[in-house]
Structure 1
């Protein structure tokens, strides 16, 4: 009986029909196709996130740029693109919102003023000590008519009729003023001298026009 039992057990074992272990049967087998699908999905997801972050960064940068331009303080005077709208004409010198023409020929005071008027300017008006010092540097040993004149016994006036405020000393007893390396002097208006014309530069004129339009509103 014992041998028969052993033989049966051997036959069953040899047939390969032994039942699997219960613990092994309980363990689920993961489908291979799902693993392969996850492996392909993960890189695509990462790539999509990169594109999304890049787009968000670009939009943020554009918004910041727009805000910066909106709050930027406007320039008091826009740049003047040469040569169409240059600040000063050719052969004129620009300084502190004015353009100066320094003549090489000599004329009397009246003829000098007429020449300046023909260019849209006038004989030079000097507003500050700083402007006076700047012009003195151009005089050297020459005398240059400026826009200051007077009737005998009357006050000095500029070409536009504004009365001179005596902020500078005018030497001499003449009725027309000129500038030299020492400052301001005067002589007879018929004396031939070089002369200085001046006018506002393009930026100063544009600023004045803008202010006038705003005040008119």
Structure 2
């Protein structure tokens, strides 16, 4: 009988080799198994954590790429942005005029009747000055110095309402002294006299900004126009 037939064969399973590196008694195997199980569990937890971190990073990158793609696609579909360049053509008060609160004022250095003064103001595309607020009254009183100046109130008869040059009725927010028909400013405030006497006068007209082109949006003032070219006669 062939001697090989009596040889006993043993399993060569790789799992058996990885689990059991050498033969030990039952008492020696129990601590080893517990140690191996603990080490294996710790390694599994670390691998699982690393796997979740990698998955989270990949998901984040995917979301970022998708968002960027949609952003670029939306801008392309909207077309090119309007140009931000703008030009401002600003007209200041004319020479010899004084600016205050969006209006220009002219204080004459010659005298004339009330009607003559109004005609002179009209030739400047202006009118004899109205006085709408206490602040405007203070401004006019400071700039007129000591001379009396006609302004834009007149009435036809004593007792009739005072009217401005645009025919609007004066609301009597300040007192006009005396019983004349044309109003003027002296050192004490507003007074009145005959319209054919001669005095200096005050013309006024609004200060305009023309030829303005600006970017879209509602900027509150000129300083917010970052890319503007300003042309002015200041």
User: Which contiguous aligned blocks of 4+ residues in structure 1 show a shift greater than 6 angstroms?
Assistant: none
Match of 1:148? Answer: 153
What pairs with 1:1-217 in structure 2 (closer than 5 Å)? 81=89, 85-152=90-157, 153-203=159-209
Q: Give me the whole-angstrom Cα distance separating, in 1, the residues matched to 2:201 and 2:165.
A: 14
Q: Give me the whole-angstrom Cα distance separating, in 1, the residues matched to 2:174 and 2:138.
A: 11
Q: Give me the whole-angstrom Cα distance separating, in 2, the residues matched to 1:106 and 1:79.
A: 42
Any conservation in 1 of the 2:97–2:105 contact (CA below 8 Å)?
Answer: yes
How far has the Cα of 1:149 moved from its partner? 0.4
How many residue pairs end up in the alignment?
Answer: 129
Encode CA deviations 1:100-152: one digit per residue, 9 max, x unaligned: 00100000000000000011000001110100000001223210000000010
DSSP-derived class of the 1:126 partner: coil
TM-score, normalisation: structure 2 = 0.51
Which gives a bigger RCO, structure 1 or 2 (Cα 8 Å, sep 6+)?
2
Any conservation in 2 of the 1:136–1:183 contact (CA below 8 Å)?
Answer: yes
Report the structure, 1 or 2, having the larger strand content: 2
Encode CA deviations 1:33-58: one digit per residue, 9 max, x unaligned: xxxxxxxxxxxxxxxxxxxxxxxxxx
TM-score, normalisation: structure 1 = 0.55
Measured on the aligned residues, the alpha-carbon RMSD in Å equals 2.6
Any conservation in 2 of the 1:80–1:87 contact (CA below 8 Å)?
Answer: no
Q: Give me the whole-angstrom Cα distance separating, in 1, the residues matched to 2:107 and 2:87.
A: 25
Report the structure, 1 or 2, having the larger helix content: 1
